[in-house]
Structure 1
Amino acid sequence: MQPGMEGNKVSKVTFVLKSNIRQYGMFTALVLIAILFQILTDGILLRPLNITNLILQNSYILVLAVGMVLVIITGHIDLSVGSIAAFVGAISAILIVNLHIPSFLAIILSLLLGALIGAWQGFWVAYVKIPAFIVTLAGMLLFRGLTMLVLKGQSIAPFPKFYQGMSSGFIPDIFSGSNLNIFAIVIGVIFSILYIFNEVKHRSSLHKYNFEVSSKTTFIAKLIVMVVIINVFTYVLAQYDGIPNILIILLFLILAYSFVMKKTTMGRHIYAIGGNEKAASLSGVKTKRVTFWVFVNMGVLSALSGLVFAARLNAATPKAGNLFELDAIAACFIGGASAYGGIGTVGGAIIGGLVMGVMNNGMSLLGLGIDWQQAIKGLVLLLAVAFDIYNKNKSA
């Protein structure tokens, strides 16, 4: 082999390794954190019951993270999501419990209310040009106050079974397994096949346009690892009650928003605005309209988060949604979103949310108080943003 060819091969391997580290670094961190707490908790963390609880306990934060990452990519921030979640949860309780409106209709009306709130805030940010920090800080205070007013300082409960099932229900096993939920295992196999098909198609597309790709051995190893993780995960769920309803909602949101951000014009415009708003405007991007709809979307997902949280508690409470905004923002930054805008992925935000969730759950199982948990989460967030700034300065 000629020296030049060997050097090119080494540089190619180095490029692929760096790309994989950037892409999968946080996922690797999640796996290592889970293994650490699995050891420290004597195997409690990854028991079927606790895995299911992890999904249920963090579902409303993950819903918020999906919307928040779009806001952060555009270079903005939303501090009002927790208060909006609480307010919409309170309104849904009044509609369902007090006014006896059917749950499905109340859910639709609540999501529309979230869209209106998002439009209200998006108007001030996009068209009046008030900084999002100020607008959403005002929204945080406004909707927290309105929540207290409509609930009159009291909780409203209980919700109907249909409403509760959104957050705490499970998909029934159509195969009627005795000790295992066979449907969950079948879903794992189907999802594995779809994953392999999508990855092979994506790799072929990269080859077609002469982009750098990992070696065939690395690619196959990656597929094997991911298929094992998917099927082990669904097998663990099958040992309890199977697949939670909220997990299906989350998977739909992740796939839909990932598609929008990667494959559509809207997604490219969102990234363009975060990268350089003036340049995007000069390129023909309707920056005001895109920003407006990003906040409308955030309002809808805040409403959904509030509905999920109320359904899990089986009550609407005045203090619902407390600090949700901080957990959602932290999930996005830990998952690789840039504090400067223009960088971030939906998948990364979900991984960041799971890192926070596993840390919370693991520390609770170890008996660490909420004071230590908050301190450690704050330190992790600071390190994540510092790492982002370090990479930005290094590449400048």
Structure 2
Amino acid sequence: MNALLNTLRGNVRQYGMIIALAAIVILFQISTEGVLLKPLNVSNLVVQNAQILILAIGMVIVIVARHIDLSVGSVAAFVGAASAIMMTQYDFPWWLAVFLGLLIGTAIGAWHGFWVAYVGIPAFIVTLASMLLFRGLTLVVLKGATVGGLPEPFKAIGNGFLPEIGPDTGFHNLTLLIAVAAVAVLIVLEVRRRNAQAAYNFDVLPFPLFVVKLALLTIVIMYFAYLLADARGLPIVGLILGGLIVVYTFIMNRTVFGRHVYAIGGNVDAATMSGVNTKRVDFMVMMNMGLLSGLAGLVTTARLTAANPKAGVNFELDAIAAAFIGGAAVTGGVGTVVGAIIGGLVMGVLNNGMSLLGVSIDWQQAIKGLVLLLAVAFDVWNKRRTAGSGGAGAESAEPSAPPPDKLAEEIEAMEAELSVDSSGDPSKT
């Protein structure tokens, strides 16, 4: 029990929102008399919130690098409008329009990165200007009208589902197979991670608690897959979102670029003196946000089956809220992709649950604002708590993890050799 309490105490930011999400789900499941977790509603929840979750992935990286992007909603609307015009008025193949839409989003992100990284204008100002610029250009491109008549394969990106395979089991077989594969990969990665930490004598969960953690993750994933499989299966946009989560989690945790982003967000001066090319990293961060904004715009247009001048309104606020609710620090340097997804799900479940209960849109906005304020206040409180107590792991008597046994033996041998040299042969240094 002490190990569990110490783990939770040292990872309040990590586990706090997971507990909050579970509590919100249970609350609305009871208050809606079981409607929230009905298979069809869960499927709709994924489809309706996919674009915000995509933006949240990019936004948390921007916030970790101590920037902000206010233009993502306008950029998404502009990319969706431009792609729709390509397909309807210029007869571009849908796949080419998608590719060019992603290219436009990436170019806009590079434009932001140039002003932020190389000219030195704060990202807040640059993206505020772009928010106005591309909202206006969206109206120009669409001429103030909604453009429909999009190809069916394109609309499937936002509304389609994976095909049926195998025998008729009453469930969507492919969805269940993907879930089983995801659980297997997750277990392998968690075991490898635990073994690597244990090899360097880092603190790890006791084995029984580790097994409980894996069991809980397995239950959650398989139950979620069961609900989707009992409806229409995994949405195509859900598969896209899952791929993005895996790719960007790997980038932020396992690549040099990801470490540089965290280093810059933690202390930009120290990162610069350490040889990090801060300008290039900032440029890449903003360009990546443009790419994901373009993807979110395409998903939104496909889901709505038309390009609308009002598309993307308040997307930036929802994405920023998802990142902060998911544990990103206001000052930068802290935040995870999975945390941003959890924050986005908190917002999505709140929207869906309140809509099912008939709560008016004005009260929904007010409640979401309070949730965001409480999340940031929690972040500030947690930072002060850890600063005052020495941070996570301060309960440990040792200031840091001891070196592995083999390394300790090598250090002792070197110290003994130096001692002999200094006492037995004064000429050696």
TM-score w.r.t. length of structure 1: 0.96
Offset at residue 394 of structure 1 (A):
3.0
Q: Give the letter for the 1:220 counterpart.
A: V
SS at match of 1:200: helix
| Structure 2 alignment gaps of length 5 or more | 388-429
- 2:354 is aligned to 363
- 2:75 is aligned to 84
| Structure 1 alignment gaps of length 5 or more | 1-8
Equivalent in 101, 104, 112 of residue 113 of structure 1: 104
Whether the 8 Å contact between 2:8 and 2:15 is mirrored in structure 1 is no
Q: Does 1:203 find its partner at 2:194?
A: yes
Offset at residue 81 of structure 1 (A):
0.2
Offset at residue 13 of structure 1 (A):
5.5
- 1:58 is aligned to 49
**Separation in structure 1 between the aligned mates of residue 4 and residue 83 of structure 2, nearest angstrom:** 54
Matches within 5 A, 1:242-281: 242-281=233-272
Whether the 8 Å contact between 1:86 and 1:321 is mirrored in structure 2 is yes
Question: Structure 2 vs 1, CA of residues 44 and 189 (structure 1 numbering), >3 Å: closer, same or farther?
Answer: same
Q: Does 1:151 find its partner at 2:109?
A: no
- 1:349 is aligned to 340
Whether the 8 Å contact between 1:16 and 1:212 is mirrored in structure 2 is no
Instruction: Select the structure of larger CA radius of gyration.
Output: 2
- 1:323 is aligned to 314
Q: Identity across aligned pairs (percent)? A: 57
Q: In the TM superposition, what whole-angstrom CA distance separates every residue of 1:327-381 from its partner, at most 9, and x where no partner exists?
A: 0000000000000000000000000000000000000000001100000000010
Whether the 8 Å contact between 1:281 and 1:287 is mirrored in structure 2 is yes
Equivalent in 25, 28, 31 of residue 19 of structure 2: 28
**Separation in structure 2 between the aligned mates of residue 52 and residue 17 of structure 1, nearest angstrom:** 31
Offset at residue 22 of structure 1 (A):
3.3
Whether the 8 Å contact between 2:13 and 2:382 is mirrored in structure 1 is no
Offset at residue 393 of structure 1 (A):
2.7
Q: In the TM superposition, what whole-angstrom CA distance separates every residue of 1:233-279 from its partner, at most 9, and x where no partner exists?
A: 11111111111111110011000000000001000000011011111
Q: How many residue pairs are counted as aligned between the two chains? A: 387
SS at match of 1:26: helix
RMSD: 1.2
Equivalent in 38, 43, 56 of residue 34 of structure 2: 43
Offset at residue 20 of structure 1 (A):
4.5
Q: Give the letter for the 1:195 counterpart.
A: L
Q: Give the letter for the 2:19 counterpart.
A: T
Offset at residue 387 of structure 1 (A):
1.3
Q: Does 1:125 find its partner at 2:133?
A: no
- 1:213 is aligned to 204
Offset at residue 217 of structure 1 (A):
1.1
Matches within 5 A, 1:3-22: 14-22=5-13
Offset at residue 23 of structure 1 (A):
2.2
Whether the 8 Å contact between 1:90 and 1:151 is mirrored in structure 2 is yes
Q: Give the letter for the 1:95 counterpart.
A: M
Q: In the TM superposition, what whole-angstrom CA distance separates every residue of 1:42-78 from its partner, at most 9, and x where no partner exists?
A: 1100000000000000000000000000100000000
Q: Give the letter for the 2:220 counterpart.
A: I
**Separation in structure 2 between the aligned mates of residue 22 and residue 296 of structure 1, nearest angstrom:** 28
SS at match of 1:127: helix
**Separation in structure 1 between the aligned mates of residue 28 and residue 178 of structure 2, nearest angstrom:** 28
Greater shift, 213-222 or 20-29, is seen at 20-29
- 1:3 is aligned to none
